Amino acid sequence: MANFKKFWIPILFIILAIFPPFFLSQYWLHVMIISLFYVMMASSWNLIAGFTGQVSFAHAAFSGVGAYVSGMLAVNLGLSPWLGILIGSAVAALLGLGLGYLCIRMGGIYLSLTTLGFSEILRIIITNEDKWTRGTMGLQVPGFFAEYSKVSNYFLFLIVAILFLIIIYRIIHSEMGLSFRAVLNDELAASSSGINTVRVRVLAFTISSAMAGMAGGLYGHYLMLITPDIPSLGQMFLVLAMAVIGGMGSFVGPIVGSFALEILSEYIRIYGEYHVLLFGLVALGVARFAPEGMMGILNRRWRGRGLS
């Protein structure tokens, strides 16, 4: 029974995910694509925060690095976006490795402080070096497909998101994932049983930064306009809120959170820019009263019903 659920439920969802382009309007297809971008971001952020307990505030910044590296290569050297996003995520991975190496040995607080600083600095550089980045005007970049099509972009995002999710699933259910959880539960015990806690955390941080870089590159070339909003702290907050509200430390949580918040924010947008304030208050309430998020609440309810 467990095996049946494990394999068939994801496959069912993937099959269902093939159909939206055939009946959704262009507008809702766009919302779906953006949701898939947030799935990539929130799930990869959850890989470090939810599974190793490291709070990085540079996840949006790394997606910005991916987007701008790829975008500037395309604009200045005429490099294909397909190659560009690979280079972009490699650069994000290298920066992640550097920051991770410097901070993680000093403890979680240092990583949070330094990644926050990194985001802020990146924003200042991008807005001021407008010769290269076009500043707040935004950098116009080519798309992935010669002929602009939301349907092709939808499938591209779907494939990459599924790929990320498979990698994340494999990591958290591998020996490495076991050591992640060991580090999260009891750092002292984990390190005394021979797990190099610092190396495990730096590795997780690097992988997750690379994923953010890739997601950012895809996002930039899909919108065909890269602005400093991509690496902003506001964007970081949205990703964090999606993971927290959906359920941190759960594989499904950030996926549910991304779709829920992105679709919801489309409805709230009619009333003005209040969605950040609203999501913030909801995220505070969830972090305070239900730290396992929506998935935690649902799981408890299901388990409760099973018992009665």
Partner 1 sequence: MYLTNGMVMGVINAISAIGVSLIVGIMKVVNFAHGELYIFAGYFSYHLSTSLGLPPLLAMPLSIFFVFLIGILMERTLIRPTYGDEMYSLIITFVLSIVLQNAALLIFGPYPNKPPNLVSGATNIFGLFHYGNQRLLSFGISIGILVFIFYLIKRTWFGKSIRAISQDRGMASLMGVDHLKVNMVSFGLGAALAGAAGVIIAPIFPVTPTGSSAISLTAFVVVVLGGMGSLKGCVVGGLILGILENLGAAYISTMYRHIFGFVVLILVLVFRPWGLFGQKTQ
Contact positions vs partner 1 (CB under 8 A): 49, 53-55, 57, 102-103, 105-106, 108-110, 112-114, 116-118, 120-121, 124-125, 128, 233-234, 237, 240-241, 244, 276-277, 280-281, 283-284, 287-288, 291
Residue with smaller CB distance to partner 1, 14 or 277? 277
Q: For residues 63 and 44, what is the distance between their CA atoms, to the nearest angstrom?
A: 11
Show Cβ contacts of residue 44 under 8 Å, excluding neighbours closer than 6 positions: 59, 164, 168, 207, 208, 211, 212, 215
Pick from 96, 75, 71: which is nearest to 85 by CA?
71
For 296, other C-beta atoms within 10 Å of its C-beta total: 18
Kindly state the smallest distance separating residue 42's Cβ from partner 1, in Å. Answer: 13
* Selection from 115, 137, 136 nearest residue 124 by Cα: 136
Structure-token pair, residue 307: 């018992």
In one letter, which amino acid is 140? Q
Beta carbon of residue 205, minimum distance to partner 1 (angstroms, whole number): 14
In the complex with partner 1, the residue whose CB is nearer, 12 or 277, is 277
Q: How far is the CB of 140 from partner 1 (least distance, A)?
A: 24
Nearer to partner 1, 117 or 143 (CB): 117
Q: Return d(Cα 218, Cα 35) in angstroms, integer.
A: 13
Nearer to partner 1, 120 or 266 (CB): 120
Residue 79 beta carbon to partner 1: minimum distance, rounded to whole angstroms:
28
Q: How far is the CB of 10 from partner 1 (least distance, A)?
A: 28
CB closer to partner 1 out of 161 and 190: 190
